[in-house]
Amino acid sequence: MPTFDVEQERITVFEFGQTYLFKQYFDKDDLFQQLDKYYDSDKYRFEVPGEELSEVRQILNNFFYDLEVADQPQEYCVVQNKKVDSSDILRNSLAHQRRKNYDIFLMKDEISVRQAIEKGASSLKKTDLDMVSIQWKIDGS
């Protein structure tokens, strides 16, 4: 019997206490319907309670997606001067906030980080801000 390998698309997920956040566009209606209860349409992201992550992981696996929990969330943070238009960066962010004279964005994946830097943002580690001072709130950011 022939077998074939299908490369799964990786989705980066971020842990916030007992909740996991990710942002992904799904073009398959049946997949989105299975995940709809986790989707926050105001923030354009999925919010999954920790106790339901394995169920969501299995649903995504069935559609060839692989959830990968980010162990270094600061690597996904970019900073932009608040006086600069950041709408292109905001589109691919999971959360954002203002600190000092900066807009700080938690980007959804590594590609989005690179694109934001190409558009003039800086990596968090290249600023005077640090991850400890940034408190992400999943209910308001």
Q: Mean pLDDT across the stretch 50-75?
A: 95
Could you state, in order of their start, the residue ranges of all structural domains in the chain?
Answer: 9-69, 73-128
Residue 97 banded pLDDT, cuts 50, 70, 90: confident
> From the centroid of its chain, how far is CA 52?
18
Q: What tens digit of pLDDT does each residue of 113-131 get?
A: 999 999 999 998 766 665 5
Considering the segment(s) 9-69 as one domain, its CATH architecture is: 3-Layer(aba) Sandwich (3.40)
Q: How far apart are CA 126 and CA 132, in angstroms?
A: 15
Q: What distances in angstroms separate CA 6 from CA 3, 12, 23, 64, 140, one per listed residue?
A: 10, 19, 22, 7, 38
Q: Mean pLDDT across the stretch 20-30?
A: 94
| Under 8 Å between Cβ of 40 and 47 | yes
pTM of the model: 0.85
Residue 41 banded pLDDT, cuts 50, 70, 90: very high
